[in-house]
Structure 1
Amino acid sequence: MLHQDLPALLTPERLRSYTARCPDLTSAIRLYEWNMRAAAAVLELTGIVEVVARNSLDRELGVWAARRGAPTWFDAVHLDQQGRLDLDKARARASRNGRRPEIHGRVKREVRARMQQLHFVRNRAAHHEPIHQRDLRRDLDDALELLGWIHPVAAEWAADTTSLRAVLDARPSD
């Protein structure tokens, strides 16, 4: 049962995309609740992608740098001025609070197309924004394909682990 104070607590602005899509407030709240579950599943999946991609990239760059006689890939890669600034910023973030600055897991590099879309949907999910209008099945497929490019075991593991498919199947009708 929908409590009468709930819409005011969530605010009309936050509920706008749900009420615009649903025939009544109860349906809009159900879609909002589903959006919360979808956001949690997106965070779960994108977390897998981020860790696997970052660690794989770091490992491959480390092998590449070692073949060139560099102690780390940070020392072997040729960056333009913006790339150097980005790397310096990442190193500073990684060394905050007395942490060692050369921990590779803390320095992220970008794998464009798929990663940008996954980053976008992750941010929307993390900030409790509506993602109910996105093609989350495409996002799931993109994430699994990206992981498959890295290693088939990563894609299989993510496919078996993610709850996103079940959440998508449980979506309430608008």
Structure 2
Amino acid sequence: MHPELPGWVERVISIPRFAPYLDALSGNRLVAWDLYQWNVQVSEAFYGPLNCLEICLRNAEHDRLRNRFGTDDWWRVAPLDEYEAAKVTAAKQKLARKGVSLPSADDVVTELSFGFWVSLLSRRYDRRLWVPALHRAFPYYSGRREALRDNLQTMVLLRNRIMHHEPIHHRHLTADHAKIYRLLDYVEPQFAGWLRAFDRVPAVLTRRPERTRH
């Protein structure tokens, strides 16, 4: 007897959300279900490395910018464009809704998104932030700012897909994983070494479901 897909799967997960897994496996419902479960597991495993990358990036940039502008709340005096300035305002408003009426600089830094920190590496900040300060946040990097920014942006997109429970099984996840460590190495190789000790991504990648199931 061949096992059947649990009847609640498409009802609870929804047919539109299950469809990408069916499409990836030519309509094989059982293997698609295996792939869906594996997608949850590999997304969970990636959370740790991506969390470390985000924290590493924001703290490295924050340190360089407060040194450059001589104040912990450097966004008050830094030449931010309207988009990034609005992100800072939104972070303060979110803190206020949480009851933090007088947020510290660290409170604001924590509230700012991964995407915000990557946006500070955009071309428009080349002369204002990158040249005078932010290149020092990556002491082990010798390439071009554009390439660094683009690589970090791909990690923002991966992080967002994971946090919004989207499929990531179609990505070259081995390359994504290697990119995280390469980016961490640009800031602090010892931090990357510490992360490897408990990183579960390599083990989960080996358990990707086969295309057939009997």
TM-score, normalisation: structure 2: 0.71
Question: Which residue does 1:60 correspond to in 2?
Answer: 64
Asked whether the equivalents of residues 61 and 117 of structure 2 are also in contact (C-alpha less than 8 Å), the reply is no
Using the TM superposition, give the Cα deviation of residue 106 of structure 1 relative to its aligned residue in structure 2, in angstroms. Answer: 2.8
CA drift of 1:90 comes to: 2.7
Deviations 1:73-115 (A, max 9, x none): 2244222333333332233334432324232333354223223
Distance change (3 Å), C-alpha of 1:83 and 1:8: closer
Name the CA distance, whole Å, in 2 between partners of 1:166 and 1:94: 38
Equivalence for 2:80: 79
Deviation at 1:71, TM superposition (A): 5.5
Is the partner of 1:20 in helix, strand or coil? helix
In the alignment, the residues of structure 2 paired with residue 94 and residue 114 of structure 1 have an alpha-carbon distance, to the nearest angstrom, of: 30
Find the residue that maps to 1:132 and give its secondary structure.
coil
| TM-superposition CA deviations, 1:23-48 (whole Å, max 9, x none) | 52111100111000011112222111
The answer to whether residue 182 in structure 2 is matched with residue 145 in structure 1 is yes
Aligned residue among 142, 155, 161 for 1:118: 155
Aligned residues: 171
Q: Which one-letter code corresponds to 2:82 in the other structure?
A: Q
Secondary structure at the aligned position of 1:60 is classed as: helix
* 44, 49, 54: which one aligns with 1:50: 54
Is 1:106 the counterpart of 2:111? The answer is: yes
How far off is 1:121 after superposition?
1.2
- Aligned-pair distance for 1:131? 0.8
**Is the CA contact (8 Å cut-off) linking 1:42 and 1:121 kept in structure 2?**
no
Distance 2:30 2:6 in 1: 10
Deviation (angstroms), 1:12: 2.1
Selected match of 2:45 from 34, 41, 45: 41
Unaligned runs of 5+ in 2: 119-148
Q: Is the 8 A contact 2:87 2:112 kept in 1?
A: no
Percent of aligned pairs with the same amino acid = 26
Q: Do the aligned partners of residues 126 and 85 (structure 1) sit closer, same or farther apart at CA in structure 2, a change above 3 Å counting?
A: closer
Q: In the aligned structure 1, how far is the partner of 2:151 from the partner of 2:96?
A: 28
- Select which of 7, 16, 35 maps to 1:4: 7
Q: Distance in 1 between matches of 2:44 and 2:183?
A: 20
Which position in structure 2 is the counterpart of 1:15? Answer: 18
Rounded Cα–Cα distance in structure 2 between residues aligned with 1:40 and 1:141: 17
The one-letter code of the counterpart of 1:148 is D
Q: Against the structure 1 CA distance between its residues 29 and 47, is the aligned structure 2 distance closer, same or farther, given a 3 Å change threshold?
A: same
Within 2, Cα distance between the matches of 1:119 and 1:10?
Answer: 25
| Mapped pair 1:90 → 2:127 | no
Let me know the Cα RMSD of the aligned residues.
2.1
Consecutive unaligned residues in structure 1, runs of 5 or more? none
Letter in 2 for 1:54: R
